[in-house]
Structure 1
């Protein structure tokens, strides 16, 4: 009986006895073919067998399947069979290889999800630290200067009775009050109240104005995600109002296929997009990149502009 037939019979017996684990199969192959050494690769796993006390000579390799990967290596090379002669072994290993390939793919997906979660967490921590630093700088710097200016105006009230001067001082006081309110609100959290309280949905709907429509259907998201997408939308709307006055602007925000997407469109005159493809939004694009997001700007003269920001979630 030929050696491949003997091997096929031994493999069949192992399968019948429910003893067809890869390590057992490679042992059967090695002993049947009187090999010195044998290595079996099944998808992402490797199994090795060697005969006791034998020196490993030259080796030969044979690919039994490429998808999923199944390969066998033997020493000495003279013990190697043809791909056709390995069919009995392939029949036993293919189901295991498909299972292992699927499990390996799932492990990779899980690892990717964990890395994404870690990146988002670190981004949130970094942004929280930035907000605390900004709060301290505003309190210690700009806010104190505003208070000093208010005191200076108050002192001028007692030194100048000119009616025109009084009107100018009233205007300065009003501007100072407004500036201080903005700084205090910013120092308390950097994020607008509508975003902190109502999430991205509420913040987008608060962007009221002529020729602006908003459709947003999103759950509450991580603060870093909501903040990054909101400021992209805010910048896109601001640019449209500045460079495409009177144009119709629409915002569409939704979650689909594991991604949160915010799209801002206008029917303005359009423009030629820079080579980077983000139309001057690089400072905000970096914030999206930190949470595995991206921004894309599509525009051309006479065709309006579309800004799309997207984050996997």
Structure 2
């Protein structure tokens, strides 16, 4: 029987008070503030907000607690935009939606930063629950960045993967690491780098003593990309069953998948709050339809990051995930 784990891919919205306070602080002190070098008042506000999102996850009964990535103004590009040796330039649209990030331009050799490890240290100090780390996957981070140093797509992907591995190696003890890979769907790797995808992902995964989940979203992987990703040494691959259940189910049944699986079954962008019993039924449906798979662990999660949602809706989505898994466990 599969173990069900309620979790999220992180990247939460700020609490309403924090949005207002941080906007005022950064507006008044803009000349002194950049990500990674906040004034004390800004750091204190983020620390308080971190405590709130940790408490919300624990109260919802989630099995994994994430930092929330509240400082990630540049979303998945964050680990590069706060790097001392990476230049940030103009505003770029975040895939095909109304969110934006500062373009990170890599013009020197990437070295260790430690920014995400510091966040996880702070989170681990707030809870006794299992902690889950979140990073952009190496392909997505390379896709969102601009390379002016390595000047070769394969070399750049390898450098990004080594950079992320160095960051992950500094993490405190974590139970799970989610690597978020929307670019695998939105801008699938071409033949120049596709063969290097598994190696890049494995490089990051090998840096942690934790279960590693690769979570693509905003649709389904094409067959070639799915096949390459299956060659990576990870514990679970994720599938966005909100955006495209047919093609994701086809990939699982036609080509197989990992022993564990991550199912994006709650909409991370839509403010409509699902019924926990409906989500429980979706878990059962995937298990019944995935005729070629017998999963050891099933991570039940939202299909995307949650920063798109108003804060109250984000909290409600956490409650849905926790209750859906609790219902399934009771009925089992």
TM-score range relative to shorter protein = under 0.3
For normalisation by structure 1, the TM-score amounts to 0.21
**Which fold has the larger relative contact order, with Cα–Cα distance below 8 Å and residues 6 or more apart in sequence?**
2
Structure with a larger share of its residues in helix:
1
For normalisation by structure 2, the TM-score amounts to 0.20
